[in-house]
Amino acid sequence: MDSFTSDLILNEATDFLSKIVKNPRLESEVLLAKTLDKEREDFYTNNIPVDEATYQHFKNLLKHRHQGKPIAYIIGSKEFWSLSFKINEDVLIPRPETEQLVESCLSLMKETSNYKLLELGTGSGVISIALAKEHPNLEITAVDISSKALELANENALSHNINNIVFKKSNWFENITEQKFDFIISNPPYVDKTQLTKKERAKLEYEPEIALFSVDSGTSDLRHIIHKSHRFLSQGGTLIIEHSFDQKEFCQNQMKETGFTNIRTLDDLSSHPRVSIGSKL
């Protein structure tokens, strides 16, 4: 290519990605927008000149995407709850279905009340930050076993001007004191690695295994959190936990065994069972 413009580059990139991703034009626009520090909309009204060095940089990003690297890791950001967050390979990429956790929690809160909330496995911090944005009176403790994840979560909180979250290193409840919480919320590892197809494993290979996979058919961490959380909840407190579509019955049974009441499961946007809720009397 002798001269470079956004139209020509996008057409070339779309063709290159067409057999790899579902939305090759969209992803090409996202990558070029990142490269040029532009908005995608700029390409609809302007055929932007691109110099050789910038074009080569874009081709390098495109190559990573063609090899299967998630676009969120390539551009270093992901939208969640209509907010933009920094993302890297130290944390799980936020999924749209996880917004159900935030929605479920907010639906149980009164706007003017003060609550104490514990998030287990905060990762990039998106759940706690989204909740803090919506409910400024929340007093949040967000824990993770990964120091690098906590660094990123802190960065994200600062970028959104959030100051009511305490980030803390802890393996689940390990470093949590005897204080009681009104809400405990978690999107823990729940994927059974042994049941994944080769194609499914390839889609997840860039993400941290510690945030994805759990033993005992993906239920080990779910069981641990459900059983331990009862002790850390105040009277009338609520546990809200995300799980796989086929783990609804398991989570409900574990909650019953532990003494939770008013147990129910909510579907995600794809009508799959995704979030189970239980209350402590």
Q: Where are the domains of the chain?
A: 6-68, 80-279
d(CA 253, CA 251): 5
pLDDT at position 5? 96
Asked whether the predicted pLDDT for residue 86 surpasses 80, the reply is: yes
pLDDT at position 117? 98
Residue 210 phi/psi, 5-degree rounding, is -60, -25
More reliable by pLDDT, 184 or 4: 184
d(CA 144, CA 120): 7
Q: What pLDDT digit, counting tens, does each position of 197-207 carry?
A: 998 998 899 99
Give me the mean pLDDT over the 236-255 stretch.
98
Q: What pLDDT digit, counting tens, does each position of 3-53 carry?
A: 799 999 999 999 999 999 999 999 999 999 999 999 999 999 999 999 999
3-state secondary structure of 183: strand
pLDDT at position 2? 54
Asked whether the predicted pLDDT for residue 112 surpasses 80, the reply is: no
Q: What is the DSSP letter of 209?
A: H
pLDDT at position 179? 87
Continuous H helices in 79-219: 99-107, 126-134, 147-159, 198-204, 209-212, 215-218
- Give 35-60 as a DSSP string: HHT--TTHHHH---B--HHHHHHHHH
Rounded to the nearest 10°, the torsion over CA 224, 230, 231, 234 is: 150
Q: Give the pLDDT band (50/70/90) at residue 148.
A: very high
Residue tagged 């050789």 (tokens):
52
Beta bridge partners of 146: none
Asked whether the predicted pLDDT for residue 1 surpasses 60, the reply is: no
Asked whether the predicted pLDDT for residue 67 surpasses 70, the reply is: yes
CATH number, domain 6-68, options 1.10.3470, 1.10.8, 1.10.3210, 3.30.300: 1.10.8
- Measured between alpha carbons, how far is residue 88 from residues 33, 69, 74, 93, 124 in Å? 19, 11, 8, 8, 9
- Measured between alpha carbons, how far is residue 270 from residues 83, 98, 137, 267 in Å? 21, 12, 31, 7
Q: What pLDDT digit, counting tens, does each position of 151-175 carry?
A: 999 999 999 999 999 999 999 999 9
Asked whether the predicted pLDDT for residue 281 surpasses 90, the reply is: no
d(CA 225, CA 188): 9
- Quick one: tokens of 188? 């823990």
Superfamily of domain 80-279 in the CATH hierarchy: Vaccinia Virus protein VP39 (3.40.50.150)
